[in-house]
Homo-oligomer: A and B are copies of this chain.
């Protein structure tokens, strides 16, 4: 069965999965869900993911995986995108949880608010996200100042997960001007084979 990806194209979390599927050359059906219109809160959607969020990936008929980073792990086991080495494997996991806890709630949420409607009420909350967002970028910069990638000196799902919202941090009101190693890393990610930009649904798939 071909995978079906339920996704909202501006979402960095959805983009992570779209990017890995594309780079692995795995065909998938894209089902767009407009989160701005409440389409993740319908009974039909909640039956697929009770937590009411995209992306979700239908991996067998009626079997849905949620949580973007869990889907990345599922799709990368046994591939070069996820190291076998026990320590490196754990370091990938470390970055994935860092992304969801210390990066996404500040940088991605700021971007979402700015893209999809700021209110005066949110202004203070937006400002309060600046310091922790920059702290997360500093943690990345510290690693990337001495290594080409986040783990193991090669491109892994840790890079995919952190790239998703870091490369559009400006849309969340975060400047990368003081993060030169992160900027160089972004270019390194964009130079990977079969890279696609965010909001693109898929690359022309590689043969075979």
- Point out residues on A near B: beta carbons under 8 Å: 50-51, 59-60, 63, 65-71, 73-74, 77, 86-87, 89-91, 93-94, 96-98, 100-102, 104-105, 135-136, 138-139, 142-143
Contact = CB atoms under 8 A, between A and B. Distances in A.
B93 A74 contact: yes
Nearest to A92: B70
Contact of A97 (B67, B87, B139, B143): B67
Contacts of A104: 101
Given A50-B142, A139-B50, A70 B87 contact: no
A91 B51 CA distance: 14
Given A50-B142, A105-B105, A97 B77 contact: no
B51 A65 contact: no
Copies in the complex: 2
Nearest to A142: B50
A1 B187 CA distance: 40
B74 A97 contact: no
B102 A90 contact: no
A70 B89 CA distance: 9
A79 to B, nearest CB: 13
Nearest to A72: B93
A70 B97 contact: yes
Contacts of A143: 50
